[in-house]
Amino acid sequence: MTTQRVEDKVRETLHAVALDAVLAPADLAQQVVRRRGRRRFSQVAGAAVAVAAIAAGAMLGPWGSGGGEQGRPARPAVSPQGWHPWQSGAAGAGERGCLADGSALYCSGSRYDVVKMDANTGERLWSVKVNGGGDGMDPPFAVRDGVVYAYRNHTAEHEPNGDYAGGTDVMAVDAATGRRLWSVKMPQDDRTGQAAMLIDGALWANTPSLRTMSALDPRTGETKWRHTWAKGEVCQRAVLSGVPYLLCTQDSEDVHDTDLLRLDPATGQAHKVTTLRGRQELLGTSDDRMVLASTTSTTAHDFQLSSVSGSGARTSLPDQAKGHIASWAVAGDRLISVSWKGQASAYSLTSGKTVWTGPVGVTMPGKDTMASLATPVVSTRQATVYFFSPAGDLSGLDLRTGKQVWHTHLDTGEPQPGGRSDTPQLLLYQDVLIARNGSRIFSLLPPTGH
């Protein structure tokens, strides 16, 4: 597969991918294409094609087998105490995305790197001004023990020729006050899911070099330990139950086997768990397993899906279904996918069987545009899966049958320059839906309870 063909495939398929509630940026395709130095295109091709092909099976989730969930009655939606419907359209406060954590909503925009809002009322509580400028899709990515983790530009200064290349810092902010606790420079402008993530007792971040992952003290940013892999290797990163793992292979156009390494979260000491045959592309994690797509040939167009536990136990997953997927998400024992033709499907991750297929109930964006469907969100308490389109359509389907139980339309305004209104986002705050498109944020309680 040539570099140009891989670039085309990446742009075509990597629009919005989420696992374990981690939203991939809508401009992920362009970010992958720009980062030639970190990984050759042939290595990201596997993930791009596998994402487009996923439709029948992935990994075990917290629901275990799907049987018990089928008989659970859905209960009516209940609003949190003190909540009322609200909306916000403050420019510069939300275009880069949001993260819900309890009754708090943390957002990023063109004017602010972090804005904390009351999820009950929409009231702004504090904000951290942007350093130079803010674009792309890089919302705050984690909250733990009263600390919010997010990205910001390293500098607001311009180069002598007038160009702006701010670089990237990962930073920690006090969740109660908005005071910036610390920031650490990253070696590249990578703000995707593997750039920084929480592990037991630390923030695990790709710093200070491209081949190094460091455990940073959550309160000070000081380095607790570092792990650097060898030259000529490329390593993907995952966290299972607070423990960091690396999937390392040769940085080559040829296909090589992949080593799975477990790092001690307290010391960084590496232990080789197993060697996996062929090139492995990490699609995401669920519970205590990694989901991988593998190939043993540079010319392969089909990829084998499997799940691997932290102990190295590998399970091959059921057959893949061909087709281009616009959006998908994992929730417990369900894989929810939406095709570009507007068909939503639910699959059991235990049996690999199709549970249901039917219309998604929203206006789909054009496949040849950079617009994307929001990652579906699942309310297990209401047994409903929700979808949100850039056009402002919201749809709720019965998680057990696929029948549409609710639909509404939000006035998200005219499309904004730069495509920011083409990357909507959908979040859950208990039973409340928070829908964001561009700088407009809506909080509403869907009248489900079927």
Q: Convert the pLDDT of each residue in 50-70 to its tens digit.
A: 333 333 233 333 333 333 344
pLDDT at position 296 is 65
Mean pLDDT within 431-444 = 95
3-class DSSP state of 12: helix
Contact 25, 136 (CB under 8 A): yes
| Residue 8 is assigned to a structural domain of this protein | yes
The verdict on residue 450 lying in a domain is no
What's the rounded Cα separation, in Å, for the pair 322 and 258? 25
Domain-embedded: residue 35: yes
pLDDT of residue 415: 59
Of all residues in the chain, what percent carry a pLDDT higher than 70? 75
Give, rounded to a whole angstrom, the gap between the first and last alpha carbons of the chain. 48
CATH number at residue 90: 2.130.10.10
Quote the mean pLDDT of the chain. 80
Give the per-residue pLDDT at 13: 38
Do 337 and 323 contact (CB within 8 A), yes or no? no
The predicted pLDDT at position 300 comes to 52
* pLDDT over 60 at 186, yes or no: yes
Residue 74 predicted with pLDDT over 80: no
pLDDT at 1 over 60: no
- Side-chain-facing half-sphere of 81: CA atoms under 13 Å: 0
Q: Domain tally for the chain?
A: 1
Phi, psi of 331 (to 5 degrees): -140, 105
Categorize the per-residue pLDDT at 162 as very low, low, confident or very high, splitting at 50, 70 and 90.
Answer: low
Whether 109 is covered by a domain: the verdict is: yes
Distances (CA, A) of 91 to 109, 112, 327, 392, 441: 8, 10, 27, 18, 11
pTM score over 0.75:
yes
Question: Which of the four pLDDT bands, split at 50, 70 and 90, describes residue 297?
Answer: low
Q: Are 54 and 334 in contact (CB under 8 A)?
A: no
Mean pLDDT of 173-181: 97
| Residue 280 within a domain | yes
Residue 172 forms part of a structural domain = yes
Of the given ranges (64-73, 142-151, 416-425), which has the lowest mean pLDDT? Answer: 64-73
* 296 within some domain: yes
The pLDDT score that the predictor gives to residue 60 is: 33
Residue 292's pLDDT is what? Answer: 82
Give the pLDDT confidence score for residue 175 in this predicted structure. 98
* pLDDT score for 164: 66
**Following DSSP, what letter does each residue of 68-94 receive, concatenated?**
HHHTPPP----PPTT---EEE--TTSS
Give the residue numbers spanning the domain of 436. 3-444
* More confident: 23 or 151: 151
Specify if 383 maps to a domain: yes
Top-confidence residue, 102 or 46: 102
Tens of pLDDT along 298-357?
A: 555 556 777 789 999 887 765 454 457 788 777 777 778 898 999 998 887 667 678 999
Split at pLDDT 50, 70, 90, the class of 49 is very low
Looking at the predicted structure, is the pLDDT value of residue 386 above 70? yes
Residue 20: is its pLDDT beyond 80? Answer: no
Give the pLDDT mean for 8-12: 39
Query: What pLDDT score does 6 carry?
Result: 38
Is the model more confident about 60 or about 280?
280
